Amino acid sequence: MISVASNMVCIVSVMLFVLVASAASQTIEKQTLTHLDKIKAIRADADEKTTAGYNKSLDDAWKFFNGNKASVLPILRREISIELQKATPNDLLLLDIGYYLRLQPDSSDKELAKAALFKLNPASEIVYLNQQQLFDFTYAVAADDDPRVLPFIDRAFLRQNMSAYVAPHALELNETLVCVFLYGIHGQASEEHLRSFLADKALTRRVLEILIWIGTPDSVPAVREAMLADRNYETFSRAATFMMKAGGPDGRASLLRLNPKDFDAQSQEYLKRVQPLIEATSYETLRKQFSTGRDVASLTEDTLKKRLAAMYENNGKDDTTEPSAVLDSTLPRAFLISELLRIRARMFRRLSDEGLSDVVSTNSILNALYYREK
C-alpha cells in the first residue's frame, strides 16, 4: 500500500518539475526575444567596430536557435507572423529569421519563410548590405513553383547590382551570374518573362547577358528590336553574341540582314570582323566542334531517352554521354531540343562552376541542334 506521505512526495516532485520546466520555457522565450530585439536594432550606417558587434549578435542568435530549436521555433513563427502584419516591418528580421525558417525541414516553415522574403524590401539599405544572405535565401526559394518568385527576382537582382560568393566552390558570381542562376532554374518561363524588359534601356544589356545563358531562338525578334532601338556597341555586341550562341539559324539570318551603316563605328567594325564567322555557320561547322578524333558508339533511341531522363533527375550531371551521340541521334530534333532545355534548367540547381560549365556545353549542343534539319 502506498502511503499518504509517498503520494505527497510524488505530487511535490511533479509540481517542482512543472515549475522548473515553466521557468526554463520563460527563460528561453525571454532570450529569444532579446536576440530578436538585437537583430531589429541593427542599422546600416554603423562603423566597422559596431558592424563587427552586429555580426557577432547574428551568429550568437543562430547558435542559440539551433541549440534550443524545439522551444525556439514556435516563438520565431509567432514573431515573424506578427512582423508580416506590420505596414513597415523590420527588413533584417524578415531576411535573417525568414532565411532561418527556410532552412528548416517543415513545409509550413518554408511557406512562412517565403512570405517573409516576398514581404521584405530588397532595396532597403540594410538588405543591400546583406546581399549574400539575400541571394542564398532567394536561391533557396527560386525553384518553388510560385508566381511571385520572378517579380521578386526582378526587384531584388535585375534592377540592382547584387553579387554573391559560393564558398564551397570558391565561385564568385557577378551581377549577371547571380541573375543567371536565379532565373535559369525557371527555364523557358524566365526567358519569356525577361523578354518584356528588353525594351527598357536601363535593363537591356543585363537582360541580353542573361539570355545568352538561358535564351532560345524564340527571343530573336525581341533581341533584334532591342538592337535597333539602342544602336550602340555595348548593346550590339551582346545582342550579336546572343544571336550566334542561342539564336540558331534565325539569329544568324537576323544578323546578316542588318545594315552596318545603321550602327555606330565600333559596332560596324565588330560586325565586319565577325561577318565571315556568321556566314560560315552551319550545322556542319558546328558539328565539327564536337569531333573527338576517336570512334564514338552510337546510342539507340531508347538508350538515349533513358540517359536524358537520368540527366534530368540528376540535375544535368552525366559523365558517359558524348555530345556527338546526341547530335547524331535519329530522335527528332524537336524532342532533343525540348529535353535539353528541361535539363539545362535543372543544371542551375547545381550552384557551382561545374554546373555553369555543363550549361555552356549544353548550350553549344542546343545551338547545333537548332541548325540540324530534323
Query: Is 219 in the same domain as 162?
Result: no
Is 1 a domain residue?
no
| The pLDDT value given to residue 298 | 87
Is 13 a domain residue?
no
Whole-number Å distance between alpha carbons of 81 and 37: 16
Domain that holds residue 228: 188-281
| The pLDDT value given to residue 297 | 80
Is 293 a domain residue?
no
Q: Contact 163/175 with Cβ under 8 angstroms?
A: yes
**What is the DSSP annotation of 163-210?**
-EEEGGGTEEE-HHHHHHHHHHTTTHHHHHHHHTTTT-TTTHHHHHHH
**What is the DSSP annotation of 142-158?**
HTS--TTHHHHHIIIII
| The pLDDT value given to residue 331 | 97
Locate 336 and state its grid cell: 532533343
Query: Is 62 in the same domain as 167?
Result: yes
Please name the residues in contact with 178: beta carbons below 8 A apart, sequence gap of 6 or more: 135, 157, 162, 163, 164
Query: Is 138 in the same domain as 57?
Result: yes
Query: Which residue ranges of the chain lie beneath pLDDT 50?
Result: 1-2, 4, 9, 12, 14-21, 23
Whole-number Å distance between alpha carbons of 187 and 214: 7
Q: Which residue has the cell 534548367?
A: 345
Tally of domains in the chain: 3
Q: Which of residues 173, 203, 229 is at a domain's end?
A: 173
Query: Is 267 in the same domain as 306?
Result: no
| The pLDDT value given to residue 25 | 59
